[in-house]
């Protein structure tokens, strides 16, 4: 869990300027960046986060290919999950909003497998493009 809004700001800024240490780019950090982008008046999370992640990956030496790096379906689903959770639990600060998302079911690293089978989620198509869930519809 995050203790301050500055923690969230540091993650987002580190993603944007490629200074976030790779080991700190965790499941929680992905949600922290999403929350920051969702709450930022200068950004559109669904539009901006894909490019930010791709550029960050490249800066860290991670190729964005059909088998590694950026994943469109996971990223879009996670942004939508964060936005949904935030709309259901209005909060005031970045840390509080991020912690709310992380305490929800979406905070578990494998939450997405309740909606997609592994085969579909980790397909080349799902990595490159948004692919709808094949187990059950998302709740938002």
Query: How many domains would you assign to the chain?
Result: 1
pLDDT value at position 91? 76
pLDDT-derived band at 90 (thresholds 50, 70, 90) equals confident
Give the residue carrying structure tokens 């923690």: 7
In a domain, 116, yes or no: yes
2-45 pLDDT tens trace = 999 999 999 999 999 999 999 999 999 999 999 999 999 999 99
- The proportion of the chain whose per-residue pLDDT surpasses 70, expressed as a percent, equals 100
Model pTM? 0.95
Q: Is residue 16 part of a domain?
A: yes
Q: Is residue 139 part of a domain?
A: no
Domain-embedded: residue 138:
no
Quick one: pLDDT at residue 84? 96
Residue 73 inside a domain? The answer is yes
pLDDT tens-place string over residues 63-77: 999 999 999 999 999
Q: Which domain holds residue 48?
A: 5-128
Tell me if 11 sits within 8 A of 33, measured CB to CB. yes
Phi-psi category of 89—alpha, beta or left, where left has phi over 0 and alpha has psi -120 to 50?
beta
């Amino acid at each position: 869990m995050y203790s301050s809004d500055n923690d969230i700001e540091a993650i987002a800024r580190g993603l944007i300027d490629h200074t976030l240490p790779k080991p700190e780019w965790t499941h929680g950090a992905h949600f922290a960046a999403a929350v920051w982008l969702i709450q930022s008046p200068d950004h559109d999370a669904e539009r901006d986060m894909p490019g930010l992640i791709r550029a960050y990956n490249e800066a860290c030496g991670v190729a964005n290919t059909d088998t590694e790096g950026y994943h469109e379906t996971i990223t879009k689903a996670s942004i939508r999950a964060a936005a949904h959770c935030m709309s259901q639990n209005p909060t005031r600060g970045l840390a509080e909003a991020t912690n709310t998302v992380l305490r929800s079911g979406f905070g578990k690293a494998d939450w997405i497998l309740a909606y997609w089978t592994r085969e579909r989620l980790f397909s080349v198509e799902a990595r490159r493009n948004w692919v709808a869930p094949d187990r059950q519809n998302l709740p938002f």
